[in-house]
Structure 1
């Protein structure tokens, strides 16, 4: 709106066809709409309120549609009361705007309440808003519960827009039968309550009444952990994610709502272990602290070891023993006595210094456990015949070595790459024996294998042997002779000459480079030549396949015809 102006009529005459109403009554928060219609389009029109010319804004809307002109006051309040005037040419029309306070009432009760109790330890409550409820005012629904036998209703849920809610057994303080009711609340008040028609039995879930506490003990002592819950349920204990069972080492007990775990004879290895208790919806953890006992010494190789005790009489004599054998002063061992203190000192501990030490006097004995830790070197022993291995394809291969200790770790490698167990490879540990088993050898399995344990490594050389085989099929049962490079081939352990019906076959079981050459199958003056070359692991022949010879002596091979001797069928295989 701009400053106040006087209403003077322009010289151009204009006629208002549809005038404003004499008055317009609206409620607070509603929109006030004024509409007039003039005689012609595109006329110069103006709107005024209480003598002030109106301009369009976010609360004042001015629109023209041909001969129709509209004014809208958005979301009016009591201060918008006044006179609205429309002027066109020398014509005008006015209307009195009256803004009245809205009459607000509390919300109406929800309707259509339903209760689904066919759920494990929970209930689903649903309802609908009253059909005549006002939608302009924000409302919330409040659910309340009452234990049967009690007079108190307690709020258990609040919903802004949802018309359903699930109440779980974990939300109630104690086991019992419960009923529910719902009401609607807005800023103008509260509706009446609508009670749901049924009763549901709910059982609360467990809650922690007394949590787990960390436990600090000395090595060898028992460690106790306990937790108290709000209800009696079954729980499970875990040590560093490993589930515990009741045993000689672990005592697991439950007394109603209290659960306890005792770890007997704790070890230094248990230091900072995490104990976790899990029950239905409950989880709690604590840490075990284990302090090393003075009577248990763990040192590294080369470190000094000092064992001491105190006697009541400075003149008392004591004896020091290791594994039952009395100790004497040596270059590396000192036995000292100062006042009431008795002490032995090992200057530089070695692995052999590990053992049980005792200090004995007048029937009293004090025991010390000493463990000298250092890098363990595991010696590998391999039979000489195991270092060079060869096998036919599809045969099993077993590589074996033996370590000096059963707890020694051994790792297998092939050509420098660690071997992993698979469907065809088994890595086996049995006492001090370590084995790598290839169930079905292939050409790709050939190579250099090694077994490493500690600083020791043994190498294995394994090769896969291939079988060379040639055969012919005769059209008659004649006698044949085999020749290699002009010399007749005789049957040996590595060379087999077989005859099966019309077939004649020469088989070299373990082919090598020395078996390369020209092979001839001769029968009654007819000959077939085979040129065979063995290079590394690959076997090659001059006729890589098979051919058929007809009665006419014509050979057909890959569509090309050759002249040859009497008919036969030739195979050449690897």
Structure 2
């Protein structure tokens, strides 16, 4: 630097306040003002000043400190609060000029309500564009959660006009692209739109048919809340004792009290917002103006209720008819199902011919079951429709019961065919229902029904039936004899003496095999005479104390096999009973009886020859030697 030259610099000293108050603060009257500063270092000597006077906390003023941040809040600001607001921290100071502004309220502009909106979008730019078959556009209320489609079929181009919404609300929209491979994620349109429905009549006026002295009720339901005017034969109606006019949101009603015959053919009209679509006939759609004639007829009622009302049975898939008869011809009746009025549709057709009135339901289903009522005036006729499944019968059912034979351990298959593929069947064996398990399989294939039993045993033999609600078919199943029949130890001819026990025995292949015993074709059961015994594989029939009449053929049946035995009963067996005669020296009286031989008393000490009396018809006696007695009484 040359001698005599000088330079100037500005010295700036950074205070403790690092976040200062703005130069000016303006708020509305009755609004809330907040002043906030932040220090670099903690400071104990801090103050808030208003117009150089220290501010103390009050009901409108609050002073808080959070760490190095200090805040003063003034609520419900007034004119006298204006001035200089300052904050002091030791020697550091910051201030703001606090002012107020007047709040000028302007009336809100008239809202512009839209009934439709046109949405447009474009697919993203890609090196390889993805083919798009169409788009799906959905809407939901801003306060709702459910998205609803705005159209029925796919939108072909990236633009769609949405209108005819059901109610006025703020709506959000989203779009998704669709092709043969699937659907893209949804992309929401930004913001929301306030739309209202187009004015239209959802439920138009209907012709009122009233009995003299009754009240005629006319109701019209609009798509949105709107005022309207009622006309009677072209004249504006005012509410009175005769004409009662009500409006509940979008529904308008008119009641004409005490209708007379003079009112017959009276024209009732409803007009809303000068939208005119005139009704020309009974069946039409009305947008804003509705005409409806009022007919007054004689008081009619239903006749022959006991013949026409009550329970009506129908078969699923068939046609059902409900018929009522009125006392007057050419009167109008109304049909209801579970309290809701029925109108003509693909399902229901209403036919009126003279005094007869029909409600025809085509191809009824279980859902059509319920209580139907037909009303005319104050009279009601009730029907209870019952829909049953289509009658299911067996096709090609044999005239006689078929017999099916199967061998043990093989598979049994019973097959039948029903008239309807949906027909339910129940399989039974000897009247007991057959349930599916590891061995048993029940198959329903089209109209064919099968019962398959694997590894059959003798217990599977019996009568099987396949039943529907309307029909049944029967099979007789016979299980052939066991593959290892048998009776390895065979006694075909058994000889027994009178009063002895005769035992017939055989052996079967399986321990669980049951056998039956017969004598001369008659079944033998256990009794005092006969004992049927089973032990392991052995089967026995014991005939106790056989007699001559017990001789004959005995048969043992097991698993379809038979084994025949023959019992031969021998002649009478001699039983010698010695009787000592005192008058004769050492003589014995022997009786020859048909009983088992018992040991005779000792003959020791008797003489070598004795008199023997043989018990018999003549009681003849004979004298024999003692040594000859054994051969004499040898059984014949």
Normalised by the length of structure 2, the TM-score is 0.26
Q: Of the two, which has the highest radius of gyration?
A: 2
Normalised by the length of structure 1, the TM-score is 0.28
- Greater RCO, 1 or 2 (C-alpha within 8 Å, sep 6+): 1
